[in-house]
């Protein structure tokens, strides 16, 4: 893997096996197209910035990025960041003290992953929620494996500290011997994906 495998249109995105096992997606295959929204999580939290800024992304490792992004949708149960691509965070339990901060800028570290189902199953059907489904081409699939496996310079995957990955042609969430295999997908956003991002109610 190249030293910096991301660009304006190429992203490393995390995928947990249960997302496919639940029937939300079929197995991902290198070279094929896939449609999904991006979910983000920030263990350390995001810091509010004063003034107007410019969206920026710096790849750290795995599916982890340092971002400066604008809040473009903010509800008690979820919010959406524009970091050059739209990504959501699902809160679930609504905070009665929530104060919307649409238009505000934030910075911090986030992990990006394939939408498990929160967006396409619920949020996409809420009035006014942004269209988040993009078309991607899967360029490479990396599977996290145990100690002693061939090393690939991909670095930390989500919450793990192991740097052991192998390249595979497709995910195999049912046939894999791991208890719960995890993957990194290197995906290229299609050139027109930004303008054609859609919700399920607006195909």
Domain boundaries, position 26: 10-196
pTM of the predicted protein model: 0.82
Three-state DSSP at 107 gives: strand
Phi-psi region for residue 108, left (φ > 0), alpha (ψ -120 to 50) or beta? left
Instruction: Report the C-alpha gap between 142 and 12 in whole angstroms.
Output: 10
Answer yes or no: is 37 within a domain.
yes
Answer yes or no: is 203 within a domain.
no
Answer yes or no: is 2 within a domain.
no
Q: Are the CB atoms for 21 and 174 separated by under 8 Å?
A: yes
- Structure tokens belonging to residue 9: 């249109």
Answer yes or no: is 191 within a domain.
yes
What is the tally of structural domains in the chain? 1
Q: Per-residue confidence of the chain (203 residues) as pLDDT tens digits?
A: 334 555 568 999 999 989 999 998 999 999 999 999 999 999 888 999 999 899 999 999 999 999 999 999 998 889 999 999 999 999 877 777 777 789 999 999 999 999 999 999 999 999 999 999 999 999 999 998 764 343 333 333 343 434 578 899 999 888 765 556 789 999 999 876 544 455 444 43
Residue 175, number of CB atoms within 10 A of its CB: 8
pLDDT at 157 (0 to 100): 35
pLDDT at 191 (0 to 100): 76
- Structure tokens belonging to residue 78: 């979820």
Answer yes or no: is 118 within a domain.
yes
Answer yes or no: is 152 within a domain.
yes
Instruction: Report the C-alpha gap between 87 and 82 in whole angstroms.
Output: 7
Answer yes or no: is 5 within a domain.
no
Answer yes or no: is 201 within a domain.
no
């Amino acid at each position: 893997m190249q030293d910096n495998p991301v660009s304006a249109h190429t992203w490393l995105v995390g995928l947990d096996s249960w997302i496919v096992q639940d029937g939300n997606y079929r197995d991902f295959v290198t070279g094929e197209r896939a449609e999904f929204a991006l979910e983000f999580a920030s263990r350390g939290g995001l810091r509010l910035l004063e003034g107007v800024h410019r969206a920026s992304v710096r790849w750290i490792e795995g599916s982890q990025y340092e971002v400066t992004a604008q809040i473009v949708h903010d509800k008690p149960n979820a919010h959406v960041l524009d970091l050059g691509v739209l990504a959501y965070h699902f809160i679930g339990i609504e905070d009665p003290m929530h104060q919307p901060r649409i238009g505000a800028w934030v910075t911090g570290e986030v992990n990006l992953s394939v939408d498990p189902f929160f967006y396409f199953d619920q949020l996409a059907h809420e009035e006014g929620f942004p269209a988040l489904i993009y078309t991607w081409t899967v360029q490479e699939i990396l599977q996290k494996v145990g100690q002693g496996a061939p090393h690939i310079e991909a670095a930390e995957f989500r919450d793990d500290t192991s740097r052991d990955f192998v390249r595979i042609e497709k995910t195999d969430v049912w046939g894999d011997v791991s208890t719960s295999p995890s993957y990194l997908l290197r995906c290229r956003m299609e050139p027109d994906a930004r303008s054609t991002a859609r919700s399920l109610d607006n195909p």
